Amino acid sequence: MKIRLLLSALLLLLGLNVLVGLRVLGAGNAGGEGADNGYDNIAVLTRAMQLIRQDYVDEKKTNYRALTYAALRGMFNSLDPHSRFMEPRELKGMEDDTKSEFGGLGVTVTTHDGMLTIVSPMEDTPGFHAGLLPGDQILKINGEATEQMELPAAIDRLRGEPGQKVTLTILRPSNRQIKDYTIERAVIKVASVKDAKLLDAKLTGGTKIGYIRITQFNEPTAAELGQKLDTLEEQGMQALVLDLRNNPGGILEGAVDVCGQFVGPNTMVVSTEGRVASSRKVYKTSADAKRRPRYPLAILINGGSASASEIVAGALRDLNRAILVGETSFGKGSVQSVIELQDGAGVRLTTAKYYTPSKQVIHEKGIAPAIRATMTPEQENLLILQRRETGLEESDKKQLAGFHDTQLERAADALRGIVLYAAVK
């Protein structure tokens, strides 16, 4: 009813000229090719909706809400892979994501070169345990091809009630193999900070080097990280490896608060710039950020490190607080503003780009490491297998027995050198 009244009010607002113009627009162009007249083009949209309502063969598909939502989806999908229109249930699902508990498979997806692609499977989730890998391309969902499928529609098909199964047809670019994975959906509870420990003395040469892995950034991440750091500092930690490999990102505030664990209060860690003044912002660490010892810090990144991971890595690099080790990150550095509409639906609109403290752009460029340490696709697969912890077959265990995390080894070597150098100065 609201939409019907809105359309009626719109027609009254446009007046007699537009009403007359509607008759012409059915056969002509609104103001000529390239014209950007709002009234004329809204009239085209209104006329198209009128024709569908009046003449389309299947009346069940012609209600105002369905047509309006379809038009909005098309508008946002035409902008970039990250802007989208969300129906009320989609908006709620996105809000649940940031609270670290939601239903689905536990994979972050995007469109890359026209293909529905997995950025990273979240740890301890059905997708992770099934063996999905970063870079895997989803060709089909329950037999339905994804080639022409819009990203919101694909995400909607991946989600579902816990206990339901979904079959994904996966193309793995590293070996060009196509395989079906049948995975049972579950309620996803994400522990964002994992594996806090002191590394084995055999790897560090006796230097007490801590290790913490962040799987994604959400509301409790910084608090969880602070607790782990407290424990490691009590154990005499002299340096730290922060592992952000295959971390797909999360919420901006979580990234800023994590930076606050390593730099002083009120320190600028990231800025945003867009078309309008309101999108130009500077984000600083909290004035109440805890002051910690300035021990050497190495951050591990790779092609699966995206968004908030890149903000943390870029900020701590630019602030001379950390050395980056690994491979160039994914390059997702744009800001999406989420706005709720009157009926409970919402829009996610790209409004700005992220910039590191030295004004380096992240989007489509990524963050490059100071110490480049690459892994083969086979090694990357073993790294993810190593993190799986449960459900390993004997063949998996044999492969892992000879696996060396070369990126972690390079980071530990660098930190050990820094600690030894500081000791003899």
Phi, psi of 316 (to 5 degrees): -70, -25
Q: What is the DSSP string of 250-296?
A: B-HHHHHHHHTTTS-TT-EEEEEEESSGGG-EEEE--TTPPP-----
Please classify residue 103 by burial: count the beta carbons closer than 10 Å to its beta carbon, then call 0-12 exposed, 13-18 middle and 19+ buried.
Answer: middle
CB atoms within 10 A of CB 236: 9
Catalytic residue among 318, 329, 334, 405: 318
Please classify residue 13 by burial: count the beta carbons closer than 10 Å to its beta carbon, then call 0-12 exposed, 13-18 middle and 19+ buried.
Answer: exposed
Nearest-10 Cα torsion for 309, 278, 95, 143: -70
C-alpha span between 396 and 129 (Å, rounded): 13
221 contacts 208 by C-beta, under 8 angstroms? no
Q: Is 307 a catalytic residue?
A: yes
Ramachandran category for residue 205: left, alpha or beta (phi over 0 → left; psi -120 to 50 → alpha): left
Catalytic residue among 307, 309, 329, 334: 307
Q: What is the DSSP string of 169-195?
A: EEEETTTTEEEEEEEE-EEEE---EEE
C-alpha span between 406 and 175 (Å, rounded): 22
Who contacts 116 (Cβ-Cβ below 8 Å, separation ≥6)? Answer: 109, 110, 137, 138, 146, 149, 151, 154
Q: What is the DSSP string of 20-47?
A: HHHHHHTTS-SSSTT---HHHHHHHHHH
CB hemisphere CA count around 387 (13 angstroms): 25
Q: Which helix (H) or strand (E) holds 247?
A: none
Catalytic residue among 192, 329, 332, 334: 332
Instruction: Supply the residues annotated as catalytic.
Output: 307, 318, 332
